[in-house]
Structures are given as structure tokens and as C-alpha cells.
Amino acid sequence: MTDPLGNRDPSPKFQRALEPGELEELNRLRAWREHHEREEHARRLEEHHRHLAHDEQQRRLADQQRRLYEQQQPNFSQQPAYPYPPPQPYAPVQQVTVNNVKRADCPHLLHLVLTAITCGAWLPVWIIHAIIVAARN
């Protein structure tokens, strides 16, 4: 047997006879402790049931969301709701011609005639023009 403080039974040398009101007090403390233990057990049981109800509600919500998701997703095993566009005919082949012939960008004959007419005054213009055309090519 334990005392109200939860200690073990006292050894025989410390045992004594109970006073007239001590037995009732011990019984009252034992009843109080048992009452609180029952309340704690009931509280834990209620909390456990609340957790079970919450888990069940979460499971139902997840199932409902999964069903809604599956309804919204197209089912590729069935025929699509909209037909695919028909294949387009091939475009006709277009002929491309590439002109590889280079023409002279600097009209040397014209510059030669102008240089002769101006007695060599046109020669710097011809040289500058020839350098610019060569750099561009």
C-alpha cells in the first residue's frame, strides 16, 4: 500500500495505529486520486477519438480531391473530345537561284578617263575609292 504522496509502505518499525479520522482521510484521498485518474483516462480517450475523427475526415477529403482530379483529367485511353487537325499537305518545292557572278564594284575605266581629263587631279579620288571597295569586299 502507498501513502497519499505516492511513497512506498513504511517499514514495520515506522507503522503505527491510525487515529480515528485518518482512515477516512486516506479513503477520501484514494477516492480523489482514482477520480482524477478516471478523468485523465477519459480525456485521453476523447482526444484519441478526436484524432481518429480528424484522420478519417482528412482521408475523405483526400479521396474526394482525388476523384475530382481524375474527373478533370482527360482519359487518353478513350477518343479525345476534340479531333486533331488533319495533316497539312506539303508545300510545293520552290526553286532557288544563286548568283555567284562577281561584278566590279570600282569602275576602273571611268576613273582612268577622269584622271586623264583632269591631268591627274582625279587620281587621289580613285585611290580612296579603290581602298574603300577593297575593304568592303
pLDDT tier, 134 (very low <50, low <70, confident <90, very high otherwise): confident
| Cα 113 from Cα 14, distance rounded (Å) | 145
Residue pLDDT, tens place only, 11-63: 666 666 777 788 888 889 999 999 999 999 999 999 999 999 999 999 999 99
Question: Where do the structural domains in the chain lie, given as residue ranges?
Answer: 12-72, 105-137
Residue pLDDT, tens place only, 74-121: 665 666 566 677 777 777 777 777 777 666 677 888 889 999 999 999
Q: How far is CA 51 from CA 37, 39, 41, in A?
A: 21, 18, 15
Contact assessment for residue 105 and residue 137, using Cβ atoms and an 8 Å cutoff: yes
Contact assessment for residue 114 and residue 127, using Cβ atoms and an 8 Å cutoff: no
Question: What's the angle, vertex CA 38, arms to CA 35 and CA 41, rounded to 5?
Answer: 150
> According to the model, what pLDDT value does residue 117 have?
93
Torsion angle (degrees, nearest 10) of CA 112, 113, 118, 124: -20
**Whole-prediction pTM:** 0.36
At 125, which amino acid appears? V
> According to the model, what pLDDT value does residue 15 have?
64
> According to the model, what pLDDT value does residue 34 have?
96
> According to the model, what pLDDT value does residue 50 have?
95
